[in-house]
């Protein structure tokens, strides 16, 4: 290998090393959703998941949990109706129970909403 080739391969290796560290740091840090102290038991809120999709976060006495807001029928975005305590799809009125693992309550959806792993770390609720 000549000097030019050596310098090029060294620069590429250094770039890969730096990029690898950056990607590792990003992958290792969980996404902060909301401060736990600002999200008491009984709360719910919409948020954007790590994959960029809409999602819903809930907090009960038993802890925090979250679901993708993408309907498992044809992919519309569900909304939370607090009065009925259900996640309801506007497209074909499918509904899900967020307090029973996102199970289908009514309508066309073939399966429960996808769960999103969340936890409380220090004073933050995070997507892990």
Contacts to ligand FES by CB under 6 A: 71, 73-74, 76, 89, 91-92, 94, 107-109
CB of 75 to ligand FES, least distance (A): 6
39 or 96: CB nearest ligand FES: 96
Those residues whose C-beta lies under 8 Å from the C-beta of residue 104, and which sit 6 or more positions away, are 72, 94, 95, 96, 110, 111, 112
CB of 99 to ligand FES, least distance (A): 19
CB of 80 to ligand FES, least distance (A): 14
* Contact predicate 79/90, CB 8 Å: yes
* Contact predicate 89/76, CB 8 Å: yes
């Amino acid at each position: 290998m000549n000097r030019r080739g050596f310098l090029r391969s060294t620069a590429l290796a250094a770039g890969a090393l730096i990029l690898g560290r950056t990607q590792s740091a990003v992958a290792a840090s969980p996404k902060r959703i909301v401060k736990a102290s600002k999200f008491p038991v009984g709360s719910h809120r919409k948020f954007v998941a790590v994959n960029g999709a809409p999602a819903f976060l809930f907090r009960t006495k038993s802890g925090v949990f979250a679901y993708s807001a993408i309907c498992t029928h044809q992919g519309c975005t569900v909304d939370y109706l607090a009065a009925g305590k259900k996640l309801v799809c506007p497209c074909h009125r499918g509904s899900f129970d967020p307090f029973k693992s996102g199970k289908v309550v009514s309508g066309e959806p073939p399966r429960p909403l996808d769960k999103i792993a969340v936890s409380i770390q220090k004073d933050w609720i995070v997507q892990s």
